Amino acid sequence: MSNILDKIFTARKKDVASDQRKVPLEELKNKVSSVQPARDVGSILRKEGTTRIISEIKLRTPFKGVLREGAEPQDIARIYAEGGASTISVLTETRHFGGSVDIFSRVREAVDIPLLRKDFIFSEYQVYEARAMEADWFLLIATWLDKNQMCDLADLGKELGMQALIETHNEVDLEKAFHTNAQILGINNRDLGSGKTDLDISRRLIPMALQEEGKILVCESGIHGRKEIEEFEAMGAHAFLIGESLMKAPDISAKLRELLNDNEASR
């Protein structure tokens, strides 16, 4: 029986086919040639002396439902940027996460820091689309993609000036990620099939990921407070992708200050 990840990718294939009929690939390629160059995400995530937070704009999830009623993505993006986020992740999958290309575009107009296109990407069309919407980097999910597919998509991203975030959840995923030679590896503590979150995933995989020199490690999901950030920074994590904790916080700005540490957020 297929899990939620399989269902999402199946739906995305239908949606991307529809998108391509509306906006042909050649049109996207023409647009890519006229957009501003992608920002250097790698150097930002390696910045010493500060916690690097990738703040996420995620309106809902298949596991938790709506995360913030009445959320205005561009307003949240401004809070993130002004509060010290290193980069912002924007969901563009519509059916299950409430995202869209339009939301991404509104966020791009609102802030000038790097943006991650977070989606269920499997095709060249989506990579070109990401750059056409002025994404600076994009997500590839190792759990679902095979290693050759990931290599091809990551290489295309490089040709277009973008880094890929290769998201892993277990040892098999890590092996596939190493095969791509991508610079940025994500370790997702959430099982995308069941929705279960387990921080022991990062505790187990961070030391393995560090065996490959020069990688930037992003810890994803299940991070709720400063204590967890300090634990994983001590292990070698470079950055933290945090969505739910921020989106559900009564005061997003205060929560971001807590995660960064007050003296850093007020720098």
Identify the three-state secondary structure at position 210. Answer: coil
Structure tokens at 242: 């945090």
Q: Which residues are catalytic?
A: 56, 58, 118, 167, 188, 220-221
Q: Residues 192, 169: contact at Cβ < 8 Å?
A: yes
Rounded distance, CA 43 to CA 62, Å? 33
End-to-end CA distance of the chain: 51
Length of the chain: 267
Six-digit token string for 106: 């509104």
Give alpha helix (H) positions in the chain: 4-22, 25-32, 41-45, 73-83, 101-110, 124-132, 147-159, 171-180, 200-209, 226-235, 244-247, 252-260, 262-265
Distance (Å, whole) CA 2 – CA 193: 9
Distance CA 52, CA 165 (A): 15
How far CA 20 is from CA of 14, 35, 104, in Å, comes to 10, 20, 18
Cα atoms found within 13 Å of the Cα of residue 228, Cβ hemisphere only: 21
